Structures are given as C-alpha cells and as structure tokens.
Amino acid sequence: MKPYERKQLLERVEREGATVGADIPDRIEVQGEEIDLREFVFEIKRRETIPPGERDRVEQAKKNLRRERVQRIELLEEGDISREEGEEIARSVVGIDRALNALQNLGPTDLEREQKAQQAADRKRWMSFLKKALGHEDDASRRRA
C-alpha cells in the first residue's frame, strides 16, 4: 500500500461522523475470539435495564473492542498490507466504533440511578422546606443543642 493510501484510510477511520450509516459487523474476531457482534449489541440494547452480571460482560466487551480497535489502527499505520486489506481493516474499525457507540449509549442503568438520586434530593429539599415553613426545624435544632 502506498503512503498516501494509508493516510487516506487512517483519516477515514478517525473522521468525526465516520460511523454515520455504517453497519455493525455480523461477526468479528476480537482478541482471537469470534464474536457475533451485531447480535450481542442488539441483545443488550433490547433490554430495559442491564442486570449487574451483564453489566460486567458489557464493560469487558467494550474493553476488548477498544483494544482490538487500537491493534487494527496500528496495523493500518504500520502493517505490510495491500490496499484491499487496508480497506477491509478500515471498514472493520468503523464497525467497531459503531458497536462501541451503541454500547456506550446504554443509558437506562445510569439514567435510573441518576433519576433516583434526583428524586431523593428533591424529597430531602421538600422536607427541609416543610420543616422550615412549619417551624419544626427550629424546635428540632433546639432539642439537639
């Protein structure tokens, strides 16, 4: 592969919005293991919440995908590969990025936790307001002192 071709492929995978319209690969080899990546991502995204055991599995998958992405980028940068191999590697990197984006945006678990914390804070502020408004806070603070 010629240096300018290598540069073009690297620019393509690093471009913002490179994943727009890209597909998550059906199957991909990650860290030496074949994974049904599309099925895994859709299985995880279908759930309303992710159980604690699955959360660890998702985090491990994301870590492995990031590692695989770095290795493929290094192969694009320095590997003795043909233009066709480079194109395939670039497509797979964009597919990995698409899968990572999908897994990264699994908000329900974090949103639920954030919502519960927000509700608890709202309740605490409301109770504090009521105590002040009804004059109970002064009595309670006098009893403690």
Say yes or no to pLDDT of 32 above 60.
yes
Main-chain dihedrals φ then ψ at residue 29, nearest 5 degrees? -95, 120
Q: What's the pLDDT band for 67 if we cut at 50, 70, 90? A: very high
Domain spans, the chain = 3-106, 107-145
pTM of the model: 0.67
Share of the chain above pLDDT 70, in %: 86
pLDDT of amino acid 108 = 47
How large is the greatest C-alpha to C-alpha distance in the chain, in angstroms? Answer: 82
pLDDT in tens, 99-140: 888 888 665 445 566 677 788 888 888 888 888 888 876 555
Could you tell me where the beta strands, DSSP code E, fall in 8-83?
Answer: 28-30, 33-35
Identify the pLDDT of residue 142: 53
pLDDT range class, residue 145, cuts 50, 70, 90: low
CA distance 76 to 9: 8
Q: Averaged over 42-61, what is the pLDDT?
A: 79
Angle at Cα 60 formed by Cα 59 and Cα 63, nearest 5°? 90
In 10 A of CB 55, how many CB atoms?
14
Angstrom distance (rounded) from CA 133 to CA 136: 8
Q: How many helical (H) and strand (E) elements, i.e. helices and strands, does the chain have?
A: 6, 2
